[in-house]
Amino acid sequence: MHSFSQRFATLIARLVQKPLLALVRSPAIMRRLFTLNAIIGVRTPKGLTLTPLRLGGRTCTLCNMGQRHDHGTLLYIHGGAFVIGNLRGYRHLVAALGQRAGMRAVFLNYRRAPEHPFPAALDDAEAAWRALVADPDTGPLSLAGDSAGGNIALALLHRIIAKGLPLPAAVAVLSPVTDLRLLNESLAANRRHDPLVSTRWGARGVAAYLNGADPEQPEASPILGDFTGAPPVLIHADTTEVLFDDARLMADRLRCQGVDVTLACQTGLPHVWHMSVGRTPEADASVAEVADFLAAHATKAPALDSRPPTL
């Protein structure tokens, strides 16, 4: 049985947020609604400081709760169907991960579709990664993302491996989108069960992001990639969400390639329930699990080579 606060959050997702995602087609309006939802429903943690950064020419923000950075730096890539999502809606989650993990938590404000389609967001992630690798103060470097940001994080990991860039100590993805071909069975089987994600909304976001690009390439659909030699990966997903197969099959793919992967599943929670951190015990526990995973592997990571290869 879920907590009362979580049941209430799930009810709001089903009755308010999911219908809005299905009905509102304008990215500009959806962005305003996302920010309004953050203003109303997300309390800024006490002691949070936000420091603007420029990494590889990309706009980022350091989200700090006054913690030590003994376990290095976390680059976080937000979700939002490649179209919405911003610092106002994510700073509490990124700060909570950084505080628990003992990491310098960096939020990437990547370029969004439809104004900037594939591979703009991935290019931004790579530019930020290269800048962090070149920074002697970075320490062990970890990578995380949710939903569409999980897609970008895994695509970035694929690109890092392919280009021979320094690897992250570990990667965590929350309810990731891994297959932009949109063929997985859970998209239909869980359509009514998923408390939050409308498949119409998701399909519009994917179409805006791809803008005609081939989804059958690993940088668009990481599930098709080669991750041999990747660091440990943690995947969080809920069995009732439409993207469950994206998570489950991605874990199978990584496992077959020799990657140390953990698939941790819940049942009956909304897509990326971690966004309720500070409001529900379920979100608090899951964020703590992700942070502890990242911190544990950061302590084992060798020092980064601060000289990225010239390609």
Q: Reduced to 3 states, what is the DSSP secondary structure of residue 187?
A: helix
Catalytic-labelled residue, pool 78, 92, 126, 147: 147
Q: Is residue 157 a contact partner of residue 230, using CB atoms and an 8 Å limit?
A: yes
Catalytic residue flag (residue 92): no
Give the closest residue to 147 by CA, choosing from 21, 3, 33, 63.
21
Domains delineated in the chain: 4-298 (3.40.50.1820)
Q: Output the tens digit of pLDDT for each of the chain's 311 residues.
A: 899 999 999 999 999 999 999 999 999 999 999 999 999 988 888 899 999 999 999 999 999 998 888 999 999 999 999 999 999 999 999 999 999 999 999 999 999 999 999 999 999 999 999 999 999 889 999 999 999 999 999 999 999 999 999 999 999 999 999 999 999 999 999 999 999 999 999 999 999 999 999 999 999 999 999 999 999 999 999 999 999 999 999 999 999 999 999 999 999 999 999 999 999 999 999 999 999 999 999 998 876 654 344 33
Catalytic-labelled residue, pool 69, 71, 236, 271: 271
DSSP letter at 13 equals: I
Radius of gyration of the chain (CA): 18
Q: Is residue 25 a contact partner of residue 207, using CB atoms and an 8 Å limit?
A: no
Q: How far apart are CA 78 and CA 86, in angstroms?
A: 8
Q: 227-262 in b/e burial notation, b at 16+ Cβ within 10 A?
A: beebbbbbbbbbebbbbbbbbbbbbebbeeeebebe
Structure-block tokens of residue 162 = 């392919």
Catalytic-labelled residue, pool 69, 78, 219, 241: 241
Structure-block tokens of residue 32 = 């305003």
∠ CA 18-19-24 to the nearest 5 degrees?
105
Catalytic residue flag (residue 241): yes
Catalytic residue flag (residue 271): yes
Residue 26's Cβ-count burial label (10 Å; 0-12, 13-18, 19+) is exposed
